[in-house]
A and B are shown apart, each in its own frame.
Chain A
Amino acid sequence: METLITLLVGVLVSVATYLLLSKNLIRVVLGTAILSHAVHLLLLTMGGLKTGSVPILEDGVGTYTDALPQALILTAIVISFAVTAFFLVLVYRTYQTAGTDNLNEMRGSSDE
């Protein structure tokens, strides 16, 4: 199971990298969103993927699930949600002000 998820993370990262390298701003935003999902999956996998056990260590309980990675991911998801929302608004605003969503046309400043 871990191997499978790790492979999935790899696929997600390569998709995200492809999107990040494009010139269209919306694709770049989507790339960052996919990138953060990839790392959340990785965090989950790092805690070990077991099913059917409780997150508490008690007498008589042989196996238990590590609850910490899930807490970490929850925080990371909230943060990446906020950042993605902000980034989307920023991109839209830039498109309105600069009149373009092409990254190539946003290089440097005009006074140089």
Chain B
Amino acid sequence: MNNILVFPMVIPVITGVALLFFRSYPAVQRWSTIAAMLSVFAISLWILEDVRSNGIMRLDFGGWTPPFGITFVADSFAMLLVAAASFVSLICMLYAVFAGDKRREYYFQYTFMLLLIAGVNGAFLTGDLFNLFVCFEVMLLASYVLMTLGGEKKQLTEGIKYVLINILSSWLFLLGLAYVYGTLGTLNFAQLSLRIAEAGQPPILTAISILFLAVFSLKAGLVLYFWLPGSYSALPTAVSALFAALLTKVGVYALFRTFTLLFYHEPSITHTIIGWMAITTLAGGSLGAIAYVDIRKIAAYNVVIAIGFILVGLASNNAAGIQGSIYYLVHDIVIKGLLFLIIGTIIYLTSNARLDRTSGLITNYPILGWIFLITTLSLGGVPPFSGFAGKLMIGQGAISSGEYVMVGAAFLSSLFVLYSLIRIFLNMFWGEVLIPRKHQIPLPFPLLAPLVVLAIVTIGLGLGMDFMAPYVTDAATVLMNPEVYIEGALDNE
């Protein structure tokens, strides 16, 4: 049955709640978290394969058929993201387990990580706009707690800004929901798409779509990214990797869903605005990435650049661009997790976050150095690694829709990405060895293992592009042809 669709959301929730009762047993907390994430990952791979061979899968909760009940709809796009997100969060949790921050573990760190993942997976799978809001809130509440857990002064002051900006964007989201319900009388994605198509998207609906664009841009960090670098650099390593890999991607997912399934009738207005927002984001992110010497800030601005890059694919609004965006989204979930884990590890090892105060780390920690180089090349889009295919296809898509400014901005930003990270590599890993080998803080293998796994995955995704291709093609087909999604999500028999 389709009931399996509920597991990516329900397993983390149940495990998270159950862990509340095992407060003083860190071993139970750690390994049941890992077990839960492993099963979520396995299940999401199974659903992904099933969706590709048998078409869109749907679950009507309580037997209430759409458009009246609550539904989960899984197409390849959603499942690819669920699978990637579950895998990367599994790795981040492994890192958290081996890092073993006793105080945070005692204050339910794993519970909130699991609830965060439940919210993220729910947001990917849900089939109506109001549940998307609810899942966003589940995810955000967990992220508020993770953001401030530990109670350091910087975490608290950054936390207040983060919470406030998200309350405001949730408010705008509800406002959009109210307007959509008032004009169209439904909140189910498929039915909304039908009714918007019938009405031919009059100006009032386009105006509402701009409201949603603002909301999701704020979540994704598109143009409205000013909250992002400060909050992401106040977090402990594993959590920052989790945030960087997942949170902004949910916003991007919501943008793709709304502007390919619902508001796709006026691309000359909406997609042009998205294009210019993407260019602004690329420019702002690039400037930020080279402006700071704090490596956490540099990494955070790299998140911003990637968002701009992915949205270039949506703005070009053709099959190649969308496919490129999907490749790049999956790649970015993996690589941003890896980048933030490395940055956190470097700070743990050298106890400073400035790139001009350390050098010669490659002598002390050769494997870490090589992994960082792989990450740099992968983020820059150098061929054997996973960033290449996405960049190539986004470029093709933008060129074939004649958006030369976007192509220029996108590839110029890649150079900035490469420069900002090579700068860290040259300053921190090369040069004179400052820490004598006898006095260096040991880097135990368990802590290094998650990084090695992610580095292997980024190489594997790059070399195994053909293996991923059928899933991505299927996902792009559904995104480009809303009627396929509508048939899968609304068909009652």
A: residues with CB less than 8 A from B are 20, 25, 28, 32, 35-36, 39-40, 42-43, 45-47, 68-69, 72, 75-76, 79, 82-83, 86-87, 90-91, 93-94, 97-98, 103, 106, 109, 111-112
Other-chain contact of B163, A43, A68, A69, A90 (Cβ < 8 Å): A90
Q: Which residues of A contact B130 (CB under 8 A)?
A: 72, 75
Closest residue on chain B to residue A75 by CB atoms: B134
Q: Are A42 and B175 in contact (CB under 8 A)?
A: yes
**In the complex, what residue of chain A is closest to B163 when comparing beta carbons?**
A87
* A6 smallest CB distance to B (angstroms): 11
Expressed in whole angstroms, the Cα–Cα distance for A22 and B455 within the complex equals 47
**Contacts A32-B164, A72-B130, A83-B167 given; does A47 touch B141 at CB 8 Å:** no
Cβ-defined contact, A32 with B157, below 8 A: no
Contact A86 B141 (CB under 8 A): yes
Which among B176-184, B375-383, B403-411 touches the partner chain? B176-184
Interchain CB contact under 8 A, A86 and B157 = no
Contact A69 B160 (CB under 8 A): no
- Within 8 Å by CB of B156, from A42, A69, A97, lies A97
Q: Which residues of B contact A93 (CB under 8 A)?
A: 148, 151, 156
With a cutoff of 8 Å between Cβ atoms, the chain B residues found around residue A82 in the complex are 141
Contact (Cβ within 8 A) B154 A91 = no
- In the bound assembly, the distance between CA atoms of A98 and B161 in angstroms comes to 14
Nearest neighbor of B140 in chain A, beta-carbon distance: A83
Min CB gap B161→A, angstroms: 8
The answer on a CB contact under 8 Å between A90 and B160 is yes
- Over the window 131-174 of chain B, the binary record of Cβ atoms lying under 8 Å from chain A Cβ atoms (1 yes, 0 no) is 00110010001001100100101101101100110011011001
Q: How far is the CB of B221 from chain A (nearest CB, A)?
A: 19
Least distance between B205 CB and chain A CB atoms (Å): 15
B binding-site residues for A, Cβ under 8 Å:
130, 133-134, 137, 141, 144-145, 148, 151, 153-154, 156-157, 159-160, 163-164, 167-168, 170-171, 174-175, 177-179, 181-182, 230, 294
Knowing A79-B134, A86-B141, A93-B151, say if A39 contacts B160 (CB, 8 Å).
Answer: no
Residues in B with CB closer than 8 Å to A90 are: 144, 148, 156, 159-160, 163
Q: How far is the CA of A40 from the CA of B181 in the complex (A)?
A: 13
Are B160 and A91 closer than 8 Å at their CB atoms?
yes
Min distance, Cβ B46 to any Cβ of chain A, angstroms: 31
* Closest B residue by C-beta to A105: B157
The answer to whether B181 touches A98 (Cβ under 8 A) is no
B61–chain A nearest beta-carbon distance, Å: 14
Is B181's CB under 8 angstroms from A47's CB?
Answer: yes
Q: Could you pull out 8 A-B pairs where Cβ atoms are within 8 angstroms?
A: A28-B164, A36-B174, A39-B178, A43-B178, A46-B178, A76-B174, A79-B170, A97-B151
Q: Is the CB of A43 within 8 A of B177?
A: yes
Give, as a whole number of angstroms, the nearest-CB distance from A77 to chain B.
11
* Chain B residue nearest to A72 in the complex (CB): B130
Is the beta-carbon distance between A94 and B141 smaller than 8 angstroms?
no
A35 to B169, CA, bound (A): 11
Q: For B133, B153, B230, which residue has the most chain A Cβ atoms within 10 angstroms? A: B153
From residue B186, how far is it (CB to closest CB) to chain A in Å? 9
B141 touching A42, Cβ below 8 Å: no
Are the CB atoms of B167 and A87 closer together than 8 Å?
yes
**Can you name 7 extra interface pairs (CB under 8 A) apart from A68-B181, A90-B160, A94-B160?**
A75-B134, A79-B170, A83-B141, A86-B144, A94-B159, A98-B157, A111-B294
Nearest CB to that of A84 among chain B residues? B167
Shortest CB–CB separation between residue A67 and chain B, in angstroms? 11
Complex alpha-carbon distance, A101 and B154, angstroms? 14
A72 and B177: CB pair below 8 A? yes
Q: Which residues on the B side are within 8 Å of A40 (C-beta)? A: 174
Bound-complex Cα distance A28 to B134 (A)? 23
